Chain A
Amino acid sequence: MHPAYSVIFFTVASGAGLGLQVLLAALLLAGHVSPVSPVILTGLGLAFVLISGGLLSSTFHLGHPERAWRALSQWRSSWLSREGVLAIVAVGSLALLIGSAFIAPLEALRPLGIWGSLLLPLPTIAATAMIYASLKPIPAWRNGWVVPSYLVLALMSGALWLGAITAPFSGILPGQVVFALVSLVAGAVVKLGYWRRVDRPEAAMRATGLGPAGTVRPFDPPHTQPNYLQREMGYRIARKHAGKLRRVAFVAAFVVPLALTLLSIVLPHWPAAGAAMLAAAIATFGLIVERWLFFAEARHVVMQYYEGE
């Protein structure tokens, strides 16, 4: 599938933002920090920028962004619609949480903002993943690893960004470090699991049904120039590049952030803060490569009509 930058940016940014939102809500519920402390407000602000920036960028690939509101109507059947509705309510509760720090009448509604921020982001991320996981014509996406990958990677990047924010202020709490380390390992496991799964040969759907008569080879293309389908679904990355990029993604998303997080435990305050920020930035880069591969490596069955079965 063609890796569209707007969609890659959207899933990575909103994933990190939503992960960060859940963790901030958990932190507030645990009562460790005040909801109006600079560290929490910085975190909430960053989450807001990441999620709304992601949502905005996702409208860039629409033919008619001005009609985007219509996408909220079909939640009965469409995961894209469900995602839209959930994302808006999640951002709404985040905005409420931020607003309650500045606008006195909103203060009474703060618990609503906290609980919304705790409960809504994960279903939103799962809905995003289901958009892909529900597509039967793309076997690489239609498997049990997609939803866990999206959830774990969102929480993981959220945890790293939370570390990057809390480190300069109060230092990272031990619980936070443990969570970050666990999520990094979990992230590495689900991604390896996903890659193993997509490398397994599939019982292919046969496009033309002419198979029983013999081998089917495209003989003369239906049109001289590539059409919409080939541009959208025909993107194909060479195997050797894919292998290299997988290694880049793995090292940047999991290995380096894991090392830096461990390092931040033993380093003094400011170097530790630097390590935490670097970990978040490098992991985000790694996740962008990972997301690019998620699209570039996925093959749509329709290409069989063009390339043979």
Chain B
Amino acid sequence: MTTLPKSTGRKLGLVIDLDICVGCHACAVACKEWNDGGSGGPLSDLAAYGADPTGVWFNRIHSYEVDGAGSGGCGGGSSGQTVYFPKSCMHCETAECVTVCPTGASYKREEDGIVLVDAETCIGCKLCSWACPYGAREYDQVDRVMKKCTLCVDRIYNDALPEIERVPACVSTCPVGARHFGDLGDPDSAVSALVEDRKGYGLMPEAGYGPVNRYLPPRARRDREQAAAVTLPADLCDDLSPDNRLLKWVDRLFSR
């Protein structure tokens, strides 16, 4: 049924710490590895070793350059910051990817809020991927159905695994602990406390989807003001400037 549950018992989701993510893509790889063999898989790849490889990944790590105000160094360059930005399904409360689905293949679970697709019923109309503002749905060209993050539903309730591993694969693999998993509907949970403490936010609230996942913003950089204040000695800047004769000569040499 593609009508959404009025409320869900729990709101399971991820909390992603943008301050400490190092952009190593380990979570994306662990996700691919687990889900390729798990209930959400297989996740097909096309031309994996060819010139134009493409495939299904539930988790993708963007990276952004965020320009801060202020300037430092030669020529007044800005003190920018690189932010690694992992993105996967937000398991939205008002998941319109579900309500647009004509077949009932997409559904949101009443017990924990996880949004899933039944690969046996999906007709591959792709409308749900149009309805998702976060780009969390990926079409499998081999199976010709829609696939998406399952929040590792086949891990988190899996009695066959040691308890410490009953978290999504991305969370258990992150080498810096930038990913947390828990019930964001419970104000007393560890993840809720973390969100409270670090002013975690949901993406694109204007879309009105009520994303459950939270992002912890990068902390203000301690060195930012210092960097802005530093003015390099004029002769060093001259050495680095493109008018420098030595550099011009090197440039000409290598342009030959």
Contact = CB atoms under 8 A, between A and B. Distances in A.
A63 B60 CA distance: 24
A71 B125 contact: yes
Interface of A: 1, 61-65, 67-68, 70-74, 76-81, 84, 131, 134-138, 203, 205-210, 213-229, 232-233, 300-302, 305-306
A74 B104 contact: yes
Nearest to B218: A213
28 contacts: A63-B124, A63-B144, A67-B121, A70-B102, A73-B104, A74-B1, A84-B102, A134-B96, A135-B130, A136-B131, A136-B133, A205-B204, A207-B203, A209-B215, A210-B218, A213-B66, A213-B217, A214-B67, A214-B69, A216-B65, A216-B66, A220-B63, A223-B57, A223-B60, A227-B54, A228-B56, A228-B138, A233-B135
A64 B217 contact: no
Given A63-B145, A71-B102, A222-B61, A210 B124 contact: no
Contact of A135 (B3, B131, B145): B131
Contacts of B217: 209-210, 213
Contacts of A64: 122-124, 144-145
A208 B127 contact: no
**8 shortest A-B CB distances, which residue pairs?**
A63-B124, A63-B144, A81-B102, A302-B135, A71-B102, A222-B60, A137-B133, A80-B102
Nearest to A306: B62
A73 B60 contact: no
B144 A218 contact: no
Contact of A229 (B53, B81, B138): B138
Interface residues of B, number: 70
Interface in B1-47: 1-4, 18, 23, 28
Interface in B54-106: 54-57, 60-69, 78, 80-83, 85, 87, 96, 98-105
A300 B204 CA distance: 13
B194 interface: no
B18 to A, nearest CB: 8
B157 to A, nearest CB: 27
Main secondary structure of the interface of A (DSSP, over half): loop
B39 to A, nearest CB: 19
A32 B23 CA distance: 73
Given A78-B99, A219-B82, A70 B123 contact: yes
Contact of A210 (B66, B78, B126): B66
Contacts of A224: 53
